[in-house]
């Protein structure tokens, strides 16, 4: 039997994650937030890039606080970081899952009175004090104790029986818009809550909040998107390193004549003869259909337009400006790279970099540069 071709050669596209860039971004964020501690948000499989690999690399870099969204994400991450790393679950314990948290060494973020009551009862059943973060709502109206629940907390001497509060935290809604007045309003509300609870350490800043001012840093910052190269402030230079490179493979090329149509619904019609390359990436791979007729790729440093509707498994590029011998079946084109980063792709899709990253699909062959020793 003939030897099997390597998976990289069989794949339709290659997604490269630069873990050295993730480390460098973490160091920049850590230094900017000093003396506050710097955590890492690795929810949604580290924004689609691999929580096991990213978590291990950041642990090597010295990170000891990790945030995920769901219980199952925390369970999956635990084997990839050492026991001295705290894993905080932002959504808190689903009903009757408190035992899973202690079994796997996870710490909940408590967002409501019922979650506090459940964690308090679990601590009593175990006869020990359990760590937690308590989230308070400062105006996002999404998760966290409401002002009325905070009042109830302060009036009930037994509200936190058996619970050691690691931090009180809240979340910024508009931190990527430096001039948005909501930032100052939330900061003022958080400071007022802290004045009522001065004994606890505090956490407010997400990625963008780190760049607002040191007033937002408190004792712990929680960067997520910035670790993965997404710009923290809209309209400002991005100080972070690009982390992702996505290369699609050419499946075939053809010459079309003036008047020929490309793709579903005849979304593109050639005004003159064009050279077209079909690339093995589509919306099933997370290449968003909203980029139809307005995305681009880069070949040898030259930007080439995406033409026609994005299909489930393919896109088409106008490569007329590229030498034909450079664009042949099996050759690679850059869809995301340092010259065309995630934020630029997001702008073309009328979305945000977070959605682009978290949509990157499972069919890509994935390569990790700078893999942590423990993940090799």
Residue after which a domain boundary falls, among 166, 196, 228: 228
**Angle, helix 181-196 to helix 147-155, in steps of 10 degrees:** 10
Q: How far apart are CA 339 and CA 3, in angstroms?
A: 37
b/e burial code for range 257-278 (CB count within 10 A of at least 16 → b): eeeeebbeeeebebeeebbbbb
Q: How far apart are CA 89 and CA 68, in angstroms?
A: 5
Question: Would you say the pTM of this structure is higher than 0.75?
Answer: yes
Same domain, 215 and 99: yes
pLDDT digits (tens, 9 = 90+) for 171-218: 999 999 999 999 999 999 999 999 999 999 999 999 999 999 999 999
Query: Is residue 239, in this structure, part of any structural domain at all?
Result: no
Same domain, 186 and 267: no
pLDDT digits (tens, 9 = 90+) for 281-305: 999 999 999 999 999 999 999 999 9
Active site residue 354: no
Same domain, 207 and 318: no
Q: Beta strands of 111-243 (E only): which ranges?
A: 130-135, 163-169, 202-206, 220-222
pLDDT digits (tens, 9 = 90+) for 226-256: 999 999 998 899 999 999 999 999 999 999 9
pLDDT at 376: 56
The answer on whether 142 is annotated among ligand-binding residues is: yes
- Residue 185 burial (CB < 10 Å; 0-12/13-18/19+)? middle
Residue after which a domain boundary falls, among 199, 228, 257: 228
Q: What is the dihedral of CA 38, 44, 48, 49, to 10 degrees?
A: 40
Same domain, 189 and 253: no
Residue of 8, 164, 264, 303 marked catalytic: 264
What the block records as the tokens of 255 is 């010459």
Q: Could you tell me if 186 and 155 are in contact, meaning their C-beta atoms sit under 8 angstroms apart? A: no
Same domain, 254 and 188: no
Active site residue 124: no
First-to-last C-alpha distance (Å) of the chain: 30
Same domain, 213 and 110: yes
pLDDT digits (tens, 9 = 90+) for 74-133: 999 999 999 999 999 999 999 999 999 999 999 999 999 999 999 999 999 999 999 999
Q: How far apart are CA 160 and CA 106, in angstroms?
A: 18
pLDDT digits (tens, 9 = 90+) for 332-362: 999 999 999 999 999 999 999 999 999 998 8
Query: Is residue 7, in this structure, part of any structural domain at all?
Result: no
Same domain, 156 and 46: yes
What string of DSSP letters covers 189-222? HHHHHHHHSTTS-EEEEEHHHHTT-GGGTTTEEE
Query: Is residue 10, in this structure, part of any structural domain at all?
Result: no
Residue 322 belongs to domain spanning: 244-369
Same domain, 158 and 38: yes
How many domains, in total, are found in the chain?
2
Q: How far apart are CA 337 and CA 302, in angstroms?
A: 12
3-class secondary structure, 365 = strand
Kindly report the CATH number assigned to the domain that includes residue 201.
Answer: 3.20.20.10
Q: Report the DSSP beta bridge partners of residue 183.
A: none
Same domain, 220 and 174: yes
The answer on whether 312 is annotated among ligand-binding residues is: yes
Same domain, 110 and 199: yes
Kindly report the CATH number assigned to the domain that includes residue 271.
Answer: 2.40.37.10
Residue of 26, 43, 354, 364 marked catalytic: 43
């Amino acid at each position: 039997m003939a030897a099997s071709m390597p998976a990289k050669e069989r794949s339709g596209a290659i997604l490269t994650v630069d873990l050295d860039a993730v480390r460098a971004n973490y160091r920049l964020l850590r230094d900017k937030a000093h003396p506050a501690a710097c955590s890492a948000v690795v929810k949604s499989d580290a924004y689609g890039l691999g929580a096991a690999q990213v978590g291990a690399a950041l642990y090597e870099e010295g990170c000891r606080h990790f945030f995920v969204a769901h219980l199952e994400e925390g369970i999956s991450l635990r084997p990839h970081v050492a026991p001295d790393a705290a894993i905080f679950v932002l959504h808190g314990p689903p009903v009757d899952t408190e035992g899973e948290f202690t079994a796997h060494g996870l710490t909940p973020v408590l967002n409501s009175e019922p979650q506090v009551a459940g964690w308090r009862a679990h601590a009593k059943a175990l006869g020990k004090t359990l760590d937690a973060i308590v989230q308070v709502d400062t105006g996002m109206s999404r998760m966290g104790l409401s002002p009325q629940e905070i009042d109830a907390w302060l009036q009930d001497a037994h509200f936190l029986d058996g619970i050691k509060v690691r931090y009180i935290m809240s979340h910024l809604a508009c931190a990527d818009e430096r001039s948005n007045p909501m930032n100052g309003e939330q900061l003022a509300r958080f400071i007022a809550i802290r004045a009522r609870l001065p004994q606890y350490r505090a956490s407010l800043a997400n990625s963008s909040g780190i760049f607002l001012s040191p007033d937002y840093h408190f004792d712990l910052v929680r960067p997520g998107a910035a670790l993965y190269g997404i710009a923290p402030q809209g309209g400002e230079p991005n100080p972070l390193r690009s982390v992702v490179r996505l290369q699609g493979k050419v499946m075939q090329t053809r010459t079309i004549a003036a008047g020929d149509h490309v793709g579903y619904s005849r979304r593109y019609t050639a005004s003159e003869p064009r050279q077209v390359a079909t690339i093995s990436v589509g919306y099933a791979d997370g290449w968003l259909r909203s980029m139809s007729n307005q995305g681009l790729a880069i070949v040898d440093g030259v930007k080439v337009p995406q033409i026609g509707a994005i299909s489930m498994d393919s896109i088409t590029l106008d490569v007329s400006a590229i030498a034909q011998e450079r664009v042949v079946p099996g050759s690679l084109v850059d869809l995301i790279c340092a010259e065309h980063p995630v934020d630029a792709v997001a702008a073309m899709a009328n979305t945000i970099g977070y959605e682009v990253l978290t949509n990157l699909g499972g069919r890509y062959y994935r390569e990790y540069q700078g893999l942590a020793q423990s993940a090799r």
